[in-house]
Amino acid sequence: MTIAYWIVAGLLGLFYLYAGGKKVVQSKERLAPMMGWVDTVPMPMVRAIGVMEVLGAAGLVLPPLTGILPGLALAAAIGFTVLQVLATGLHLSRGEVRETGLNVTLIVLAAVEVWLATIWW
């Protein structure tokens, strides 16, 4: 289970570090081609989502790695599950059904991470 936790945490951590980092540093114009929803969301909210994604990526990895407050990894996994459920809702409200495939995959991975974190602690 430990190996499975680290594999899923690594995949989610890398994804959210990359996606969140882009949201934090790139302009709306640079984000829009790959994230069309940024046109309908205020830029401070996009930045806040990016910060949450970067912090969540750190939360999946650093607490279990250091042994300091390892329960934060569970909170990060729950947060990513909720984030992707909301993101799926946003895409569906915009009629972007095709774009929800990645969201569903991330929901499943985050839910697996919740389960792994629950049984690991």
| Segment 2-32, tens digit of pLDDT | 999 999 999 999 999 999 999 999 999 999 9
CA distance 118 to 71: 9
CA distance 115 to 119: 6
Divide the 121 residues of the chain into consecutive groups of 10 and give the mean pLDDT of each group.
94 98 97 92 97 98 94 96 96 92 97 93 67
Give me the pLDDT at residue 1, please: 84
CA distance 59 to 74: 8
CA distance 25 to 87: 20
- The encoded tokens of residue 96 equal 């972007």
Give me the pLDDT at residue 71, please: 92
**pTM of structure:** 0.92
